[in-house]
């Protein structure tokens, strides 16, 4: 049986495209005793509330028809956000050279957060240019999170 996120991705991606959006991510997570199904959208120029509403209504109907989830859950549709996490190789390729924040599971030199420019991606490993010499290489198993970072 396919995972919930895979099934929802198959249902939601065409709907997002119909509304001029890209399906960025799908999450099915348990938080504070409640299950949440979250769909994140992206669009050139930004996602607005009308995009979220239109996609939410249509995908909700499709979920009711397909019924891929046992039990109750909260359903949310939102923008991927300006400081979205990067997860897939295509995410890293798209945002190469962009400012990012890297969070590690264990401290490196007493720190677990590193800001810099995304300088490379190699089979899960991330190269981060912090402006202090050679880029730092973080292996996939060391990375808790890599997300875009807004600079002011």
- Does 1 have pLDDT greater than 50? no
Distance of alpha carbon 113 from the chain centroid: 18
What band does 2 get if pLDDT is binned at 50, 70 and 90?
low
Strand partners of residue 31: 34
4-79 and 89-148: identical CATH topology: no
CATH 2.30.30.100 fits 89-148, yes or no: yes
Is residue 143 classed as helix, strand or coil in its secondary structure?
Answer: strand
Backbone torsions φ then ψ of 13, nearest 5 degrees: -60, -45
The helix (H) or strand (E) run that includes residue 68 is: none
Per-residue pLDDT tens over the stretch 75-101: 999 999 999 999 999 999 999 999 999
Rounded CA-CA distance 10/21 in Å is: 15
Domain ranges (residues) in the chain:
4-79, 89-148
Q: Is 78 exposed, middle or buried (0-12, 13-18, 19+ CB in 10 A)?
A: middle
Per-residue pLDDT tens over the stretch 120-149: 999 999 999 998 889 999 999 999 999 999
Query: For residue 57, which of 6, 7, 19 has the smallest C-alpha distance?
Result: 19
- Domain 4-79 is of which CATH architecture? 2-Layer Sandwich (3.30)
Average pLDDT over residues 20-41: 95
Query: For residue 86, which of 69, 98, 78, 74 has the smallest C-alpha distance?
Result: 98
pTM of the model: 0.84
């Amino acid at each position: 049986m396919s995972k919930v996120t895979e099934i929802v991705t198959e249902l939601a991606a065409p709907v997002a495209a119909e509304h001029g959006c890209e399906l960025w991510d799908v999450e099915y997570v348990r938080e504070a005793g409640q299950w949440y199904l979250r769909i994140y959208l992206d669009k050139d120029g930004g996602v607005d509330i009308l995009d979220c509403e239109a996609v939410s209504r249509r995908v909700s109907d499709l979920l009711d028809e397909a019924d891929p989830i046992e039990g109750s859950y909260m359903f949310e549709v939102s923008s991927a956000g300006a400081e979205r996490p990067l997860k897939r190789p295509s995410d890293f390729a798209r945002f190469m050279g962009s400012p990012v924040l890297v969070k590690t599971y264990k401290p490196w030199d007493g720190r677990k957060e590193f800001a810099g420019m995304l300088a490379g991606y190699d089979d899960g490993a991330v190269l981060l240019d912090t402006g202090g010499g050679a880029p730092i290489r973080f292996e996939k198993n060391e990375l808790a999170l890599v997300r875009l970072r807004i600079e002011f």
